[in-house]
A and B are shown apart, each in its own frame.
Chain A
Amino acid sequence: MSEGFPQALQFSFADGINRLVDWLVLNYGDHLRAVSDQLLQVLVGLENLLRLVPWWLLLLLVGLVAWHATRSGVRSLVLVGLLALIGMLGLWDKLLQTLALVLVSTGLCVLIGVPLGILLAARPLARRLIMPVLDVMQTLPAFVYLIPVLMLFGLGKVPAVFATLIYALPPLVRLTELGLAQIDPSLLQAAHGLGASRWQRLRRIALPLALPSIMAGLNQSVMMALSMVVVASMIGARGLGEDVLAGIQTLNVGQGMEAGLAIVALAMVIDRISQAYGRGRR
């Protein structure tokens, strides 16, 4: 078919990949499902915990956190109002499901991303090896790896967390690395001269100085996690994305818009709070 390029140089690794996926499903499918069930327990547990909290208490808590972060009464009220609006649109339960998904994936992002960023900043070789991997993670079309992940880990929330993780992790790693790389080396040398250990230098000097950059990375991760919500719903994860998808597929533009704006509202709430924390401390 593809004339113009010499036939002899053409090859395809599609069959190999197909066989590999089949083999993985057959031999490791059940084990991986067991692992995925563990992660699912965390997710469902968090969801149920959020459901236990009465709606007004949750709004109040968000208001308090917002006030603590921004020190501005008006802003906190606007943010609480946005969340209340999602509830008024009848999307409260879906909001909680989406929130649980975003919280768990962002939590995993921090657990993996920050140490990885530190490693990248400290070891040039690691940096050279991992940077291309981050590029792949951000640009490989999600469905290409979602379907195999889904066959291995089951339909629903767990592959959704993986997909979100793959997509949302790179900015946090990059910005952590950037923040650490930009610290004036003389500060660290001075600390070294005063007898601070490697760990003390990292914890007491490097990380606090890099914090604004790390928080900006975290903020980006959360935003990207929220933008993955619709893709997540295409592999059976419940939440706000499901309504967007159903709205699009049935040409119910209104329903899609309601749920879509609810995602925007949630994003704004999380963004304003996390930004304020990133900026506020100094």
Chain B
Amino acid sequence: MKKGPTLLLGALLALGLASADSAAAAQPQAPIHFGAIGWESGAFTTELLRVIAERGYGHATDTLPGSTVSMEVALARNDLQVIAEEWAGRSPAWVKAEQAGQVFALGDTVKHAEEGWWVPAYVVEGDTARNIKPLAPQLRSVEDLKQYPQVFRDPEAPGKGRFLNSPSGWTSETVNSQKLKAYGLNDLYSNFRSGSGAAMDAEIGSAIRRGQPVLFYYWNPTPLMGRYKLIRLQEPPFDAQAWATLTDAANPAPKGSSSLPAKLSIGVSKAFRDNYPDLVKVFEQVDLPIDLLNRTLASMSEKRTPPREAALAFIRDNPAVWKAWLPADIAAKVEASL
């Protein structure tokens, strides 16, 4: 009974509700708090890192839920110590905290992450097994879209094609709207904003399952990319000046360019960087091959595997990938724990 208040106090300290920095400094053995990321690649990476921290280094870990921005703010206050997939530099909250030296982006976890415009492969190549004819055999680049508005017919605006944009309010929505102008597709395609991420996924998934043509904005690494055969439409190479015209919704004459290459990192708080130098070194080495990651995510989402199990299976099946990040003795410990 007497221990009650002490335990509670300890829990409060561990949660970082009290003065965050001193708490972490005084109790390096408190569990490491990871942000509980909701999307698949983030959830998977979180569990992968937790397994390494727990089984390789013997640190306790747990996760705390939150939206992207609230997790970034929590990281700056050291209420969270690790965000396993951070699209560093994209949100003002992150940029501010990074400039103040409160958070750090470690490593380059998924190389060749990208965003762009995609169509299912059967639209270009056909699919004899499903008896689908190639409706747009010449489609390679965004330029070729001019020939095919009738393939991606928009039932709400007959005579136009439909480009499935991201929901209003996403940064990418502005970029895509400007790209439509830049590629001269504004009069041929309606700029269809999908309203919410869930609605967008449902529409793309439904179209692919029915073998219908669909033209959409999407990004990598995602289960969708590993699950279906998709073709990314070629765009002009990345050009910083053109990119500036694309991100500015008010620019009347945008110029075409591929999107800014995405850099995925592991976000950590300052206190974590100071207290866990061994893990920091590992996090800087993390490198997930994108094709393998996409395939892993696809099977995870298809079979509805919990991320923890998917991470353990990944560790079991792909020792070569993760052993490269770890010192040999730690790697042996992780392997022995399976």
Residues of A within 8 A of B (CB): 15, 18, 22, 25-26, 29-30, 33, 36-37, 40, 44, 143, 146-147, 150-152, 154-157, 233-237, 242, 245-246, 248-250
Contacts and interface: CB of A to CB of B under 8 A. Distances in A.
Interface residues of B, number: 23
B186 to A, nearest CB: 17
Contacts of B164: 155
Contacts of B206: 25, 29, 150-152, 154
Contact of A155 (B168, B203, B304): B203
Contacts of B202: 147, 150-151, 155
B175 to A, nearest CB: 14
A249 B195 contact: no
Given A30-B212, A155-B192, A234-B199, 6 more contacts: A25-B210, A146-B199, A156-B192, A157-B156, A237-B195, A242-B195
Contacts of B195: 155, 233-237, 242, 245
Nearest to A150: B202
A158 B170 CA distance: 24
A143 to B, nearest CB: 7
Contacts, number: 78
Contacts of A22: 209
B238 to A, nearest CB: 25
30 contacts: A25-B209, A26-B209, A26-B210, A30-B212, A40-B155, A147-B198, A150-B206, A154-B155, A154-B203, A155-B164, A155-B194, A155-B199, A155-B203, A156-B192, A157-B156, A233-B195, A234-B195, A234-B196, A234-B199, A235-B195, A236-B192, A236-B195, A236-B199, A242-B193, A242-B195, A245-B168, A245-B169, A246-B168, A249-B167, A249-B170
Contacts of A234: 167, 195-196, 199
A30 B196 contact: no
Nearest to B170: A249
B169 A246 contact: yes
B198 A143 contact: yes
B66 interface: no
Nearest to B206: A151
B156 A156 contact: yes
A37 B169 contact: no
Contact of A242 (B155, B168, B304): B168
A233 B155 CA distance: 17
B169 A147 contact: no
A156 B194 CA distance: 8
Contacts of B193: 236, 242
Contact of B210 (A30, A36, A235, A248): A30
Given A22-B209, A155-B192, A157-B156, A249 B198 contact: no
A153 B157 CA distance: 16
Interface string B277-318: 000000000000000000000000000100000000000000
Contacts of A146: 199
A40 B199 CA distance: 18
Nearest to B197: A234
A143 B206 CA distance: 16
Nearest to A152: B206
A245 B199 contact: no
Nearest to A159: B199
A156 B162 CA distance: 12
Nearest to A153: B206
Given A30-B210, A143-B198, A233-B195, A151 B205 contact: yes
B253 to A, nearest CB: 23
